[in-house]
Amino acid sequence: MSEIPTYIDFEEYSEHVPAGIPSAVQQATNRFVGGRAARVAELPQWEQLRQIASDIRQHTIENMDVYLTRLEEKVKAAGGNVHWAQTAEEANRIVLQIAREHHVKTTVKSKSMATEEIGLNHFLKDAGIEAIETDLGEYIIQLAGTGPSHIIVPAVHLKKEEIAQLFSEKLDINAPTDPIELARIAREILREKFLNAEMGISGGNFLVAETGTLVMVTNEGNGRMCTTMPDLHVAVVGIDKVIPDWESLTVFLKLLARSATGQKLSTYTQFITGPRRAEGEFGPKEFHLVLLDNGRSNILKDRVGRDVLKCIRCGACANVCPVYKNVGGFAYGSFISGPIGAILTPQMLGTQTARELPFASTLCGACADVCPVKIPIPTILLHLRRRVAQGDEFAEPTLPAPIRISAGLVSFALAQNWLYRFGTRLLPAIMSVFKRGDWIPNAPYPLSRWTKARPLPPFTANFRRWWMKVRSAKQKDLAR
């Protein structure tokens, strides 16, 4: 079987980016930002809700073992099956085994970031099982052969004209650019698939430990069809999605849709507790819940980084992020993009693999301001930058030793008053050797890493001298 793609290095990034991403992304994200602001303004208790949600998530991740055990008991008591997957590979194998036991040839899928994370479609395809995405955005990117570029709006980077062109090419039709018509075309094709699929696959927004209930929050009816029409339903959900009880759920439901799309509530909120109970009822005959770890337990050990597990995947951080809005989701190289991707991917795949992501931020803090569960994203970014540069108990440093030593020396020098003064006198003299005109075109290592791409302005100003001059001029003015 071919390898599951997990991360695209920045160097390869440009090969994967369709042209014109920023304008499509900016239009959509600006709409969401406006909608969110309007809904938030309607709720005077918004800040209290955020704090309560943050506290619930904190409590849950600190007691995850308790809630996951309770969840497993309740799902089994309701007639469902629970599987534990340590890795992406294991989760894929579990789903494949269930499919093979039931002679599944075709499966219909509801949108799920967990299955994107493990590369399930790819894995099933290699095993000869067709996995069809039925969320419109996911259907579009499946046709395009790419991954999602936004957590909640997978095809946000495409304009209606580009989607029409894609439909025309891939479906061999003359597709119009009218979005309603495009949705109708997709719906007609997918109806057939719903009717014939032997298995439905979904993710889940929350897992309520109190009753063993899978909660799905969606805007298209496809989620319900995937989880009720086939006789077999498999849900792949990260262990971090567990919440204690229904009272907690009411808090998250108030926050999620408002933060994500600026809706009061999503069109569909679905509660699934086990398979159907008796003949004549709707729903699958078998329900399987695959609880996915895939690095989450390791993240839990890091007292700073683990706040990422509080995430409810609303996408609000991406919508306000100046970096995301300008580069789009593919630049993050991973299944999950935006500020949440910048703190999750390096922790999940390791800073040796995704070492650039913690630096893909201006640290403006807009993400933390809108996050409904108050994840301190800039703090975690800085924490991960330190891990990349210096290493810690979780990872080796990725910066070469000369750079780390130089940074240490600079840091030491800046902290010593006399050394700093001496350096400000010495540096212009050293730099004059490399100066050509007003610039330094080729500096020695490690500054050559900079001058390879652009010239360096020579160090000319002496802040202390300048400050003394300004201060004495001011004093003279005052004395007059």
Residues lying near ligand SF4 in the complex (CB under 6 A) are found at: 151, 259, 311-317, 340, 370-373, 375
- How far is it, in rounded angstroms, from Cα 75 to Cα 414? 59
Closer to ligand SF4 by CB, 49 or 199: give it.
49
Closer residue to ligand SF4 in complex, CB, 259/334: 259
- d(Cα 451, Cα 420) in Å, to the nearest integer? 24
Q: What is the DSSP letter of 328?
A: -
Question: In whole angstroms, how close is the CB of 27 to ligand SF4 at the nearest point?
Answer: 20
Nearer to ligand SF4, 64 or 309 (CB): 309
CB within 8 Å of 281: residues ≥ 6 apart: none
Nearer to ligand SF4, 54 or 107 (CB): 54
Of the pair 363, 403, the CB lying nearest ligand SF4 is at: 363
Closest separation in Å from C-beta 336 to ligand SF4: 9
Pick the closer one to ligand SF4 by CB: 67 or 324: 324
CA 451, CA 433: separation in Å to the nearest integer? 15
Residue nearer to ligand SF4 on the CB measure, 294 or 337: 337
Could you tell me the smallest distance in angstroms from the CB atom of residue 146 to ligand SF4?
20
Helix (H, G, I), strand (E, B), or coil: what is residue 25?
Answer: helix
Question: Residue 344 Cβ, how far from ligand SF4 at the closest point, in Å?
Answer: 8
Q: How far is the CB of 339 from ligand SF4 (least distance, A)?
A: 6
Nearer to ligand SF4, 134 or 259 (CB): 259
For residue 45, the minimal CB distance to ligand SF4 (Å) is 18
**CB-based burial label for 174 (10 Å; 0-12, 13-18, 19+):** exposed
By C-beta, is 344 or 389 nearer to ligand SF4?
Answer: 344
With residue 290 as reference, give the H or E element that holds it: strand 286-292
- Minimum distance, C-beta of residue 203 to ligand SF4, in the bound complex (Å): 14
Distance CA 156, CA 19 (A): 13
> What is the β-pairing status of strands 232-238 and 242-243?
unpaired
User: Is-contact 207 287, C-beta < 8 A?
Assistant: no
Beta bridge partners of 213: 208
Phi, then psi, of 196 in degrees rounded to 5: -105, -15
Instruction: Output 64 or 199, the one with its CB closest to ligand SF4.
Output: 64
DSSP string across 242-273: EES-HHHHHHHHHHHHHHHTS-SS-SEEEEE-
Q: Please give the Cα distance from 449 to 171 (Å, whole number).
A: 48
The nearest distance, CB 305 to ligand SF4, in angstroms, is 13
What Cα–Cα distance (Å) separates residue 415 from each residue in 52, 129, 412, 421?
41, 62, 5, 11
Tell me how far, at minimum, the Cβ of 256 lies from ligand SF4, in Å. Answer: 8
- Residue 251 CB, nearest distance to ligand SF4 (Å)? 13
d(CA 345, CA 355): 9
Whether 336 and 37 have beta carbons less than 8 Å apart is answered as: no
Q: Which is nearer to ligand SF4, 64 or 314 (CB)?
A: 314
- To the nearest whole angstrom, how small is the minimum distance from the Cβ of residue 314 to ligand SF4? 4
User: Could you give the CA distance from residue 370 to residue 259 in angstroms, rounded to a whole number?
Assistant: 8
Q: Kindly report whether the peptide bond that precedes residue 446 is cis, defined as omega within 30 degrees of 0.
A: yes
Given a contact cutoff of 8 angstroms between Cβ atoms, the answer to whether 179 and 160 are in contact is: yes
Q: CA–CA separation, 232 vs 98, rounded Å?
A: 9
